[in-house]
């Protein structure tokens, strides 16, 4: 699990505004560990993605809402 987290963290340094990367990270953590950690990643994504990237933020919100709806 730690290697996977490190890989995602490295990728996010280069692409902090990529909602698809954040969503893949959330999904992987959700499968591996818990919804609590996946929620924390979603919250972090919303804080990290630039306010100018409205569509990217919307993608995170939709993924976050869908995750909450399923779990």
For 9-53, the pLDDT digits (tens) are: 999 999 999 999 999 999 999 999 899 999 999 999 999 999 999
Q: Give Cα 39 to chain centroid, integer Å.
A: 8
pLDDT at 44: 97
Question: What global pTM score does this model have?
Answer: 0.93
| Alpha helices (runs of H) in the chain, residue ranges in sequence order | 2-14, 19-32, 35-48, 54-70
Confidence at 1, pLDDT banded by 50, 70, 90: confident
């Amino acid at each position: 699990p730690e290697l996977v987290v490190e890989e995602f963290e490295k990728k996010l340094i280069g692409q902090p505004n990529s909602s698809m990367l954040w969503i893949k990270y959330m999904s992987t953590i959700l499968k591996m560990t818990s919804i609590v950690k996946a929620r924390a990643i979603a919250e972090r994504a919303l804080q990290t993605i630039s306010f100018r990237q409205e569509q990217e933020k919307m993608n995170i919100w939709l993924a976050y809402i869908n995750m909450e709806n399923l779990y």
